[in-house]
Amino acid sequence: MNKEIVVALAGNPNCGKTSLFNALTGARQHVGNWPGVTVEKKEGKLKRENETLNIVDLPGTYSLGAYSEDEVVARNFILDGESDVIINVVDATNIERNLYLTTQILEINPNVIVALNMMDEAENKDIKIDINKISKKLGATVVPIVATKKEGIDKLIEEVIKLSKNKKNQGFKIDYGKDMENQILQVQSEISACVEENSYPLNWMAIKLFENDNKIVELIKSKSCGDKILKKVEDGVDIVTKAAGYEPEALIIDKKYEFIGKVTEGAIIRKDENKDTLTDKIDKVVTNKWLGIPIFAVIMFFVYQITMKFGNDFLGGYVETAFEALGEWAGTMVPDNMFGRFIVEGVIGGLGSIFPFVPLILVMYLLISLLEDVGYMARAAYVMDRFMTSIGLHGKTAVSMIIGSGCNIAGIMSTRTLESKKDRMVAILINPFVSCSARLPVYALFAGAFFGDTNVGPFSGAGIVIFSLYALGIIVAIVAGKFLSSTLFKGENSYFVMELPPYRIPTAKSILTHMWEKASAFVKKAGTIIFAVVILVFFLSNFPLGVEPGSAESILGRIGGFVAPIFKPAGFGTWQAGVSLVTGILAKETVVTTLGGIYAGGDEGVKLAMALKEVFTPLSAYAFMVMNLLYTPCAAALGAVKKETNSVKWTVFSAVYSFVIAWVFAVLIFQVGTLLGL
Ligand X SMILES: Nc1nc2c(ncn2[C@@H]2O[C@H](COP(=O)(O)OP(=O)(O)OP(=O)(O)O)[C@@H](O)[C@H]2O)c(=O)[nH]1
For ligand X, the binding residues (CB under 6 A) are 11, 13-19, 31-33, 35-38, 59-60, 117-118, 120-121, 146-148, 373, 504, 510
Q: Determine the number of helices (DSSP H) and then strands (DSSP E) in the chain.
A: 32, 10
Q: Which does 19 bind (CB under 5 to 8 A by kind): Mg ion, ligand X, none?
A: ligand X
Strand positions, DSSP E, 219-318: 268-269
How many Cα atoms within 13 Å fall on the side-chain side of residue 150?
A: 7
Q: Which helix (H) or strand (E) holds 45?
A: strand 42-48
Q: Is the CB of residue 158 less than 8 Å from the CB of residue 80?
A: no
- Of these partners, ligand X, Mg ion, none, which one is at the site of residue 148 (CB under 5 to 8 Å by kind)? ligand X
Nearest by Cα to 464 from 282, 618, 257:
618
Contacts within 8 Å (CB) and 24+ apart, 450-454: 450/613, 450/616, 450/617, 450/618, 450/621, 450/622, 451/618, 452/313
- Partner whose footprint covers residue 13, from Mg ion, ligand X, none (CB < 5 to 8 Å by kind): ligand X
C-beta of 15: minimal distance to Mg ion in Å?
9
**Residue 16 Cβ vs ligand X, minimum distance, rounded to whole Å:** 3
Partner in contact with 223, chosen from Mg ion, ligand X, none, beta carbon below 5 to 8 Å by kind: none
Distance CA 416, CA 427 (A): 10
3-class SS of residue 55: strand
**Is the CB of 215 or the CB of 504 nearer to ligand X?**
504
Residue closer to ligand X, measured from CB, 74 or 351 = 74
- Which entry of ligand X, Mg ion, none binds 33, CB below 5 to 8 A by partner kind? ligand X
DSSP state of 545: T
Q: Which is nearer to Mg ion, 37 or 380 (CB)?
A: 37
Q: Output 39 or 260, the one with its CB closest to Mg ion.
A: 39
14 versus 135: smaller Cβ distance to ligand X: 14
432 binds, among ligand X, Mg ion, none (CB under 5 to 8 A by kind): none
The nearest distance, CB 29 to ligand X, in angstroms, is 8
Contacted entry of ligand X, Mg ion, none for residue 373, CB cut-off 5 to 8 Å set by kind:
ligand X
Amino acid at 610: M
The least CB distance from residue 41 to ligand X, in Å, is 11
Give min distance, CB of 34 to ligand X, in A. Answer: 7
- Give the whole-angstrom CA distance, residue 6 versus residue 22: 16
Q: Minimum CB separation from Mg ion for residue 155, in Å?
A: 22
Least distance to ligand X, CB of residue 4, Å: 22
Cβ closest to ligand X, residue 94 vs residue 486: 94
Query: Positive or negative, the Cα torsion across 572, 575, 576, 577?
Result: positive
Least distance to ligand X, CB of residue 238, Å: 38
Among Mg ion, ligand X, none, residue 405 binds (CB under 5-8 Å by kind) = none
Running DSSP on this structure, what letter comes out for residue 416? G
Amino acid letter, 220: I
In the complex with Mg ion, which residue's Cβ is closer, 17 or 341? Answer: 17
Nearest approach in angstroms of CB 60 to Mg ion is 6
Report d(CA 255, CA 273) in Å as an integer.
25
User: Taking CB within 5 to 8 Å according to partner kind, which of Mg ion, ligand X, none is near residue 16?
Assistant: ligand X
Q: Which is nearer to Mg ion, 38 or 431 (CB)?
A: 38
Q: Distance between CA atoms of 489 and 496, rounded to whole angstroms?
A: 18
For the beta carbon of residue 122, count every other beta carbon within 10 angstroms. 22
Specify the amino acid at residue 635. Answer: A
Q: Are 316 and 357 in contact (CB under 8 A)?
A: yes
> Which residues in 92-166 belong to E strands, given as ranges?
112-117, 128-129, 141-144
The amino acid that residue 167 corresponds to is K
Task: Give whichever of 151 and 258 is closer to ligand X, judged by the CB atom.
Answer: 151
Residue nearest to ligand X (CB): 60
Which phi and psi angles does 8 have, rounded to 5°? Answer: -95, 145
Residue 671 to residue 260: CA distance in whole angstroms:
66
Assign 460 to helix, strand or coil.
strand
Interface ranges with Mg ion (CB under 5 A): 17-18, 37-38
Select from Mg ion, ligand X, none the partner in contact with residue 384, using the beta carbon and a kind-dependent cut-off of 5 to 8 Å. Answer: none
Instruction: Give the nearer residue to Mg ion in terms of CB position, either 149 or 422.
Output: 149
User: CB of 412: closest distance to Mg ion in angstroms?
Assistant: 18
